[in-house]
Amino acid sequence: MSNQGKVWSYTALAALLAGSVTLAGCSKTGDPAPAAPTTSASAVSAAPKTEEPYELKWLKAQDISKPYDPTKDAVKQAVEKKLNIKITPEMVDVQQYKTKLNLKMSSGDIPDVVRIDFADDFQKYAQQGAFVDLTNLINEKDTPNILKEVPKEVFEQAKVNGKIYGIPYQGGPGAGYRWNVVLRKDFVEGMGAQVPKTLDEYYNLLKKVKAEKPDIIPLGGYTAQIGQQKYANNSFDHIFGAFGVTPGYFTEKDGKFSNYDIDPKMKEALQYLQKMYAEGLIDKEFATIKEEQLRAKLYSGKLFSWMGWWSTPNDYDTQVESNELKKSGKLAADGKLPDQSNVPYKYLSLNSSLVGADGKAVAPSGAPFGQMNAISAKTKDPKKVLAIIESSLSLENQMLTVWGIEGEDYKIDNGKMKVVTDLIDPKTQQDKNGNFRGIQSYLFAPGLKGWPRYLESLPLRQSQALDVAINNKFQITDASNYLDSPTKITKLVELNTLRDSVFTQIIMGADIKKFDDFAEKWKSQGGTQILTELEASFKKKSGK
């Protein structure tokens, strides 16, 4: 139920987001051993060449407030051995990484490989010729691991003037849809009903709740905090999505752009929501209350369903259980429950998108990447550098770079991975042998498909919730991602504010003709210009 700007709580993930690499030097090959002298027609073959470790300089973002010595990092040493590389890290404080990197780029001291923000810095430096053109180097034959991690359509979005200058990187386990339809499953079971899969099933279930539990709000909603997305992209995602639309997202077909806000199917969705509101299936206060007020209704048992952020149900289920035990007088004297994170949900049911009459839906997901791994145009051997990245993305090597050494940093028990959480002394940051362990500290993995076995690393409830969210097969991204539109920057907030006002009025009973008026205003007050600029930017990015 929290907003999409919610911060990941895992320190490992934070470390990954801050990490970056640089490579330097060239590989050295030892001379072959001389052939043994022969006295017959047979000759002894020359000994195979032994390739010395490739020397890498690594611009490493590090929390300098914590102890760390790379020469004593057991995981770093294992990565070096596995990839046949020698890493020399240059430490820079996490907070200063971007400043340090830009200084290097501006001075011409460009690292051989650099992880860099896509939105501004990467595109600027790529157009200045700072990075190797990888367009003809990334292919199914030479880089299958990279293409497994980064789909071809994502590479298309990452192009600059029709060329590939880097490998997209998200910085974590996927950037997918993060919202779930959450229901009180105990209410569903108590009414002898089934968890709905279609919009019609959901509507009929809400009608049943209204009839049998008149004190319960069938569907809750809320407005966002100032500066954050409004209800239109949160509370009613599942209704809009079943009609094949989602507020705010731009669409593209054959180079032509539009926006779901003015789509005729949006009008149908709003009429449906208007009907639900009139029948008392939607909370009458959805347009005025904040999230914390919706939580209060949930905790007190007055709410049946809502759209929830993936990570919140664990705590909410516990809160609901606490209130239920309090009502029955069975809550412990201290008012607390044991840790519930590895216990299946008792009161809540997490569900994927509801499908419409055509069996389809739309689930708005975030931009697929935020950073790029680019190879410097000054590097001596770009193919070798690319080969190192490719090798690091095999499943076996990702397990090492992401999770560390099997049997030490993680264990496989009955086919399930379990992260060892007590290996490091939190004060010294070292294990019992005096080693540091740079888990997720030396890796190249783009992470668009998610870290291997990531869900297994989470507590049960969080794993279940994230599994539902990221594996939603109806995810779509905004077609305007990574495209330039000055008018979008200056006018979109104004257009979105207009949308939220009109859509709210319609849901609460205003004449549906307001939608047609809104669509015309959207176009005339900047929308049409935005679409024109997006189409031009799309052509330029495609190199057309």
Identify the CATH number of the domain in which residue 274 sits: 3.40.190.10
Checking if the pLDDT of 366 tops 90, the result is: no
Q: Which two tokens stand for residue 23?
A: 């490579």
What is the structure's pLDDT at 499? 92
* Amino acid letter, residue 219: L
pLDDT at residue 474, rounded to an integer: 94
Query: At 387, phi and psi to the nearest 5?
Result: -65, -35
Instruction: Judge whether 239 lies within some domain.
Output: yes
The answer to pTM > 0.85 is no
DSSP codes, 240-281? HHHTT--TT-EEEETTEEEEGGG-HHHHHHHHHHHHHHHTT-
Whether the pLDDT of residue 179 is over 50: the answer is yes
Judgement on whether residues 109 and 166 belong to the same structural domain of the protein? yes
Q: Give the per-residue pLDDT at 38.
A: 42
Coil, strand, or helix at residue 48?
coil
pLDDT of 445 > 80? The answer is: no
- As a whole number of angstroms, the distance between CA 249 and CA 237 comes to 12
Domain housing 491: 179-365+475-542
Backbone phi and psi for residue 529, each to the nearest 5 degrees, phi listed first: -65, -40
Can you name the residues that pair with 88 across neighbouring β-strands? 57
Are 305 and 384 within one domain?
Answer: no
Write the DSSP assignment of 322-359 as a string of letters: HHHHHHHT-S-TTS-----TTS--SSEEEE-PPB-TTS
Same domain, residue pair 216 and 86: no
Examine residue 384 and state whether it is found in any structural domain, yes or no: yes
pLDDT tens column, 1-23: 333 333 333 333 333 333 445 44
Residue percentage of the chain with pLDDT more than 90: 61
The answer on 411 and 301 residing in a single domain is no
Note the pLDDT of residue 223: 80
Domain identity same for 339 and 233: yes
Q: What is the pLDDT of residues 254-293, one digit of tens each?
A: 999 999 999 999 999 999 999 999 999 999 999 888 888 9
pLDDT band with cut points at 50, 70 and 90 for residue 110:
confident
Angstrom distance (rounded) from CA 291 to CA 312: 12
- CB 457, CB 417: distance < 8 Å: yes
Number of domains in the chain: 2
* 459 part of a folded domain: no
**How does the average pLDDT of the chain come out, rounded?**
86
